[in-house]
Amino acid sequence: MYTEDDLLPLSGLQHLLFCERQCALIHVEQAWAENLLTAEGRIMHERVYEAGRESRGDIRTEYGMPLRSLGLGLIAKADVVEFHRTAGNNWLPFPVEYKHGRPKKDNSDKVQLCAQAMCLEEMLDVQIPEGAIFYGKTRRRQDVVFERELRQETEDAAQRFHELVESGRTPKPVYKKTCDRCSMYDLCLPKTVEKARSINRYLMNAVRE
């Protein structure tokens, strides 16, 4: 169990799964840069938070709900948490995460949503079987079942996130195609740093010869 002082932003899990260097630049070095994609995503979230709360029939909806888990060591604000009335007249949480783009090939969005569900489970002492991700580009929800494998991946990511921050070290860059759409590109300089390292290796080899 973590303490209140140990809590890290839940959004860091997605940064970690996208790129550990990006995660360290943001959460270790406290650097940040915004591009069109991150700005559009931020505006979408701000609009969701402004909705407050509403109730329709058997669904009550909370917007911008604070979340916390001492088990995972994470803190956050959920985009949307729907509370669905069950047959026993209880209210079961159903987290919904809003994303500006399209569904991803990796599990980063699902891990972020699963972490929100695990926060709610700890806070409310309930078991949450599923949630959903709403994608702005497709204007559709993608249902996510919180299976054991996804929960384990989420726990592992949270542990790696804490270890990275506690180490205080930023990993060296490794250029990939995904770097080109990263808002941190100009701060990270993956191609420039990679090229400098290659030149240094060449010079060291030349000296040895």
CATH topology for the 4-171 domain: Lambda Exonuclease; Chain A (3.90.320)
pLDDT digits (tens, 9 = 90+) for 104-155: 889 999 999 999 999 999 999 999 999 999 998 899 999 999 999 999 999 9
Using a pLDDT cut of 70, give the percent of the chain over it: 82
As given in the structure block, the two tokens for residue 199 are 């030149």
Interstrand relation of 59-69 and 74-85 (parallel, antiparallel or unpaired): antiparallel
User: Residue ranges per domain, the chain?
Assistant: 4-171, 172-209
Cα distance from N-terminal residue to C-terminal residue, the chain: 54
pLDDT digits (tens, 9 = 90+) for 51-89: 667 888 899 999 999 999 999 999 999 999 999 999 988
Cβ of 20: how many Cβ atoms within 10 Å? 16
User: What's the pLDDT at 198?
Assistant: 46
Judged by DSSP in three states, 123 sits in: helix
Cβ of 26: how many Cβ atoms within 10 Å? 20
pLDDT digits (tens, 9 = 90+) for 156-203: 999 999 999 999 999 998 888 888 888 888 888 888 755 544 434 434
User: What's the pLDDT at 51?
Assistant: 60
Going by the DSSP 8-state scheme, the letter that residue 179 receives in this structure is G
Rg (CA), the chain: 20
